[in-house]
């Protein structure tokens, strides 16, 4: 096992314990996009559950978005890896959309609506399998970029939280990769030769998220190497002070 793999396993375990993401006997729904983040998350969780005291069950789900163009992630390749290597069942779900959905306006639909539709589908699967946790592959960079988006578009200081317990209902969103940088994920995926697909969303290049990542995050890191990490940890400190006492319900 490489030093990088040991490090990312340690950081994933630390995030899980810091925010009490998992409890023994739980079933979690893991959303698999087919990208590097969700593919590595599946691998790390499969390794951690071999040694963690809290034994938990994982059901992975790929949500097929037929309303987008060219979103084939070579599903059978991902399913084979998840089921034959990780011993995690991977199910394919097709989102059924109402006729008046904004997502039917064409390719240039709202990313918010796309995310909303997928989460509704995952919540329904929680009911089906008796799961209480939805596991997402967002990492440190995603959390910082999303916070910038909330500030620039929503005029509010709101973090994408490592854990978010819904105030209504029993579902909790967890992000075990919160302490890990995107560049580390890419390095380990390539090192372990884990199959993944690059982002093939047809609107990705023009999204606010991508512009913030390239024009703000990456540019500032040229002069301030710890730029992303320092912003992240200041956000986490503020988040824990505000929400820890109420169980991270937002």
pTM score, whole prediction? 0.90
What per-residue confidence (pLDDT) applies to 111? Answer: 65
For 23-43, what is each residue's pLDDT tens digit? Answer: 888 999 999 989 999 999 999
Percentage of residues in the chain with pLDDT exceeding 90? 56
What per-residue confidence (pLDDT) applies to 107? Answer: 45
What per-residue confidence (pLDDT) applies to 24? Answer: 85
> Mind listing the domains of the chain with CATH numbers?
3-246 (3.40.50.620)
- Judge whether residue 104 has pLDDT over 70: no
* Side-chain-facing half-sphere of 249: CA atoms under 13 Å: 9
DSSP 96: P
Counting beta carbons within 10 angstroms of the beta carbon of residue 130, is it exposed (0 to 12), middle (13 to 18) or buried (19 or more)?
exposed
Using only the alpha carbons of the chain, give its radius of gyration: 18
Lowest-pLDDT range of 28-37, 142-151, 165-174, 213-222 = 165-174
Lowest-pLDDT range of 79-83, 152-156, 188-192 = 152-156
Contact indicator for 144, 179 with CB cutoff of 8 Å = no
- Judge whether residue 108 has pLDDT over 50: no
- Judge whether residue 55 has pLDDT over 90: no
What per-residue confidence (pLDDT) applies to 102? Answer: 54
- pLDDT category of residue 117 using cuts at 50, 70 and 90: confident
- Judge whether residue 169 has pLDDT over 80: no
List C-alpha distances in Å: 203 to 189, 190, 198, 199, 230.
Answer: 25, 26, 14, 10, 30
Higher-confidence residue of 230 and 167: namely: 230
Contact indicator for 142, 232 with CB cutoff of 8 Å = no
What per-residue confidence (pLDDT) applies to 205? Answer: 66
Contact indicator for 63, 225 with CB cutoff of 8 Å = no
What per-residue confidence (pLDDT) applies to 245? Answer: 84
Contact indicator for 133, 26 with CB cutoff of 8 Å = yes
Q: What's the CA gap between 5 and 66, in Å, rounded?
A: 35
């Amino acid at each position: 096992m490489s030093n990088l793999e040991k490090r990312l396993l340690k950081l994933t375990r630390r995030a899980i314990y810091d925010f009490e993401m998992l409890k023994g006997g739980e079933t979690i729904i893991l959303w698999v996009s087919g990208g590097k983040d969700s593919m590595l998350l599946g691998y790390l969780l499969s390794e951690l559950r071999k040694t963690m005291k809290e034994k938990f069950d994982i059901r992975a789900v790929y949500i097929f978005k037929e309303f987008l163009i060219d979103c084939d992630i070579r599903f059978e390749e991902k399913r084979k890896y998840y089921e034959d290597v990780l011993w995690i069942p991977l199910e394919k779900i097709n989102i059924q959309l109402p006729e008046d959905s904004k997502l039917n306006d064409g390719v240039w639909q709202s990313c918010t609506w796309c995310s909303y539709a997928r989460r509704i589908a995952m919540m329904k699967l929680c009911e089906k399998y008796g799961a209480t946790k939805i596991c997402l592959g967002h990492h440190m960079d995603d959390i910082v970029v999303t916070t910038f988006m909330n500030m620039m578009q929503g005029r509010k200081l709101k973090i994408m939280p490592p854990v978010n317990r819904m105030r209504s209902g029993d579902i909790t969103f967890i992000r075990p990769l919160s302490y890990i940088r995107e560049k580390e994920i890419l390095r380990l995926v390539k090192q372990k030769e884990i199959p993944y697909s690059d982002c093939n969303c047809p609107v990705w290049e023009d999204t606010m998220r991508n512009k913030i990542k390239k024009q703000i995050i990456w540019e500032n890191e040229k002069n301030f190497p710890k730029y992303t990490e320092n912003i992240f940890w200041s956000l986490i400190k503020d988040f824990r002070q505000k929400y820890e006492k109420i169980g991270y319900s937002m």
